[in-house]
A and B are shown apart, each in its own frame.
Chain A
Amino acid sequence: MRLRRIRPESIPDDDEDATVETWAVPPPMPPPAPVGDDPGPVVLLHQAGRTFPGPPPVEALKPTDLVVERGEYIAIVGPSGSGKSTLLHLLGLLDTPTTGSYHLDGIDTGTLSEPERAGVRAARIGFVFQAFHLLSYRSIVENVMLAELYHPGARDRRRDRAVEALVSVGLGHRLEATPATLSGGERQRVAVARALVSDPSLLLADEPTGNLDTATGEQILALFDELHDRGLTLAVITHDDSVAARAGRVVGLRDGQVTEDRRQGSAVR
């Protein structure tokens, strides 16, 4: 469906009334409109909601405002059924909001055609999944190269970039290994490398440590910390408090509503 275009400057200041119950820190001001080269915040959700058609219709996510600035590391937490997966899919352009609007890097995603949405997804969003989703019959460097298959960029240096990304996650020595020969932690690092190879604006991780033991999960989180230090914007969906504790900001969801939005630790850089 096509959503109407909303100009960011038209968002009223008192917009956060109904959906926000508790604020640990004052909510961020609505961002200025993208001007010139400044694309504004990475994520700008304005009254974005998602209702699944019935019967009976389910309002998985009530109209929500969310702003994620460049370089932020946020954790989206909540019990199952709280709407955090729905939010992830909206953020990842895998789903479209039924109400409200979503600007990614200043692009109003509601106005995009399907090839454009897919192209934006390829170029600006990196996904890391709980189940890794590596193709078992390909070497890990081929798995990472897959990330740029649908990317409008150049083809010739694809392998070089994949190798670079694998080196950056510490797997430069196992380029031709197949996923079956890797440990769970290594597989997830391949998935992270795949998410990083197209230099995304936003890294979306869905329970990235859910299939890992504590020690290897810790390695992945350390890798996320390092990426955050390099300036990458991360959004991690988790129900694990120890994962949420690593983030600079925690957004809590319950019954499709944001019930908590607090900054912690080092906060936004």
Chain B
Amino acid sequence: MAERSRLSLRDLLSETGVALTARPARTVLTALGTILGVGALVTTLGLAKTAGNQIVSRFNELEATEVVVSPQSTGFGDASRSLNVIPWDAEGRIERLNGVVAAGTVSAVDVGDKLARSVPVVDPQGQTEFQIPVLAASPGLFDAVRARLFTGRFFDQGHEERADPVAVLGPAAAQRLNVTRVDNLPVIFVGDEAFAVVGILADTARRPDLLGAIIVPNQVARDRFNLAGVEAVQIDVAVGAAELIGAQAPTALAPNDPEQLRVAVPPSPRRVRSDVQDDVNALFLALGGVSLLVGAIGIANVTLVSVLERTGEIGLRRALGATRRHIAIQFLTESVALGALAGVIGTSLGVLAVVAVSATREWSPVLDPWLPFAAPVLGAVIGLVAGTYPAWKASSTEPIAALRGVA
């Protein structure tokens, strides 16, 4: 006999929609704090992730793919033994390993007090002789250090086998020796040994000591300067292969005595990544949290004001059959919807900001896939928290007093 008051979900949602769209400017302004808060949070999380990834990928580029093998240092008086551990054909042995991109040997050449010059005659008036380090390398070294040429070419296996007196100059060495081009077949002298310059480097990604050096093939260094042995094998490996190559290289180079070799492998990328991101995230998250708090206060404030404004409406709804519960649910739904809306808008703006910043920095934007979905939920939760007190206040409005007030 007695009807029960009810409010269908569909009606509730449509009422909420009407309430939020009736005054769109006001809705947006109410949500502004949360929009900014969620936007800031998404931006900071996204940028932290993006920046963290950039740092990690730089490590990947330079260090995660670099393996260096050198003899164990055994102290004084034992130099010849340790220098002979690495065979002259180290390059060929290492390049056969799966996962190696390029490999080459590098050794400092002891030239005594011999100076380098680019003119055949010593001019006592001007300074034409310089003390420039000489390095002996196998041809693969240039790829292994990712060297780029300014002009000319690298020496190759043929030069090595024929013991041709050729040299590649680092840019600093070329400048001091005043060699700017190779098409006129310049010759430099180290002491009295002449070398034809075949190429000048522009830069290298690794071994910056190459930039200031005269680089000659191993064989010619052995012939002319009595190079005793290989100092180091520089290996460029595929991403992820560093650990494997680091384990295999000593055996490949010195099957009888692998313990004689020392292997430098990159630090675990995982640890680097987490260290960097933890620092960045803690700071950014604190900022985002503060913005969200401000946003929640904004929603609570405006919703409370709107409860007071809509006193007449609340009284009317009670007269039309709404229970206290219906009133509370309606206001709560409005603030949750507002928060969710703010979350969606804020997330969109945040993602755009991450993309924009990444574009200007030439980074690739990286976002956790859950972020665009979790952020609107966070907005809704903020709406829920912010709307609880105003909704309770609305539901406890006496319909009598509400109806007597001015509409």
Contacts and interface: CB of A to CB of B under 8 A. Distances in A.
Interface stretch (B63-71, B176-184, B312-320): B312-320
Contacts of B400: 85, 89, 94-95
B7 interface: yes
Interface residues of B, number: 35
A119 B325 CA distance: 13
A160 to B, nearest CB: 16
Interface string A127-156: 101011111011000100011011110010
B403 A121 contact: no
B4 A133 contact: no
A137 B19 CA distance: 9
A205 interface: no
A28 to B, nearest CB: 24
Contact of B403 (A124, A133, A134): A133
A160 B2 CA distance: 25
A16 B320 CA distance: 33
Contacts of B22: 137-138
Task: Kindly state the interface size class of chain A when it binds its partner.
Answer: 35 or more
Given A131-B406, A155-B8, A94 B3 contact: no
B321 A133 contact: no
Interface stretch (A108-116, A214-222, A226-234, A251-259): A108-116
Contact of A137 (B7, B23, B319): B23
A122 interface: yes
Contacts, number: 113
A146 B320 contact: yes
A100 interface: no
B5 to A, nearest CB: 3
B3 A116 contact: yes
A149 B2 contact: no
B350 to A, nearest CB: 31
A8 B325 CA distance: 32
Interface of B: 1-8, 10-11, 15, 18, 22-23, 312-313, 315-326, 399-400, 403-407
Interface of A: 85, 89, 92, 94-95, 106-107, 112, 114-125, 127, 129, 131-135, 137-138, 142, 146-147, 149-152, 155, 194, 206
Q: Which 9 A-B pairs have the closest CB atoms?
A: A122-B321, A118-B5, A137-B22, A150-B321, A119-B3, A119-B5, A131-B407, A133-B316, A119-B4
